[in-house]
Amino acid sequence: MKHTLSALLLVTASLQAQDTPRLETLLMLPEPRALRTERSIVPRHAEKTVLSPAREVARAPGIETYSKEDFQRVGLSPETFAQRAKKVADQLLATLKPDLIKGDKGQVLYAVYLSERPVMASLLIAPSLPRVFRELFGNELWIALPDRHALYVFPAKAAALEEFVADLEERYKGDPHAASPEVFSIKAGEELCVVAAFAE
């Protein structure tokens, strides 16, 4: 009986380990420009957002940007790190399924990735993101990421976004780990850029 219980505990621990995702070490974290360091990259036309090299950690808040010393040990330039982070973002994206939010007539208004893992905003740089939503929203997407746990995908139309500006602003201002108050345009094969803002 004692041996059976020990074996059961080992199996349970093994299953829990399988359910726990691997902590990613190559992430570009969108964050307010006030947190910019020499390792951060500024997206095109961005006034309030930077992308900073980051990694997941087991302790709260679950993700942290690299210190100067730790980044030196990585041995990459910010640009090379960002290129590798795109591959990681693609791998993460492939494991996720967005929620499709529909209107009264059944049309999809927007899509959203939500998770307790603070890596959803880092999906912004995934090269495959435009392809995922091409049939649904067209060749251009508008992306909002008010905090680290969420990424909202809209068709590239002001009217599609306007209805939700207040909700996005509330989420951004109410989170101590806000990501960005800006709206990003992404197209397959093109550099992402900022086209608007939903909060000051």
Asked if residues 101 and 110 have their Cβ atoms less than 8 Å apart, the reply is yes
Tell me if 148 sits within 8 A of 180, measured CB to CB. Answer: no
pLDDT at 171: 96
Distances (CA, A) of 180 to 30, 31, 45, 48, 144: 6, 6, 13, 7, 8
Mean pLDDT over residues 95-108, rounded?
Answer: 95
pLDDT for 133-146, tens place per residue?
A: 999 999 999 999 99
Phi, psi of 35 (to 5 degrees): -95, 10
> What residue segments make up the domains of the chain, in order of their start?
22-197
Max distance between CA atoms of the chain, in angstroms, equals: 66
pLDDT for the residue numbered 6: 44
* Token digits of residue 73: 């040990």
Q: What is the pLDDT of residues 112-166, one digit of tens each?
A: 999 999 999 999 999 999 999 999 999 999 999 999 999 999 999 999 899 999 9
> CA separation (Å) from 144 to 5, 25, 28, 103?
49, 23, 15, 19
Query: Which residue has tokens 């109410």?
Result: 174
